């Protein structure tokens, strides 16, 4: 699996994966960092984290295509995002469970 930073709201590959209510809620938030997940070159999911002013982040969503759920891919997406955070100066991520980066 590959995780890449994306402009989810302007990315035609990933935009169809996002539920409409997430798109509406996130349009007004400039502090979001979006990642897209791919397997075999195909977009399969997205993650979004809200960057906080104290070098932390709050997980906003993890979304994975329904047919791929229950196979550990969401956890793999989350782990890849957590590996990326220290490179960006983010030392913790809360939201789902307050996990340290």
Paired with 64 in beta bridges are 45
pLDDT band for position 6 (cuts 50, 70, 90): confident
Backbone Cα Rg of the chain = 13
CATH code of the domain occupying 2-100: 3.40.630.30
Q: Give the pLDDT confidence of 40-69 residue by residue, as tens digits.
A: 888 998 888 888 888 889 888 888 898 999
Contact, 33 vs 49, CB < 8 A?
A: yes
Question: Residue ranges of the domains in the chain?
Answer: 2-100
| Alpha carbons 63 and 101: distance in angstroms, whole number | 20
């Amino acid at each position: 699996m590959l995780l890449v930073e994306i402009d989810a709201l302007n990315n035609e590959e990933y935009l169809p994966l996002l539920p409409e209510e997430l798109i509406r809620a996130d349009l007004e938030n400039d502090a979001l960092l979006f990642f897209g997940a791919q397997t075999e070159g195909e977009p399969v999911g997205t993650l979004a984290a809200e960057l906080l002013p104290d070098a932390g982040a709050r997980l906003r969503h993890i979304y994975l295509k329904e047919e791929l759920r229950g196979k550990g891919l969401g956890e793999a997406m989350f782990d890849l995002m957590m590996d990326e955070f220290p490179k960006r100066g983010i030392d913790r991520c809360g939201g789902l469970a307050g996990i340290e980066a």
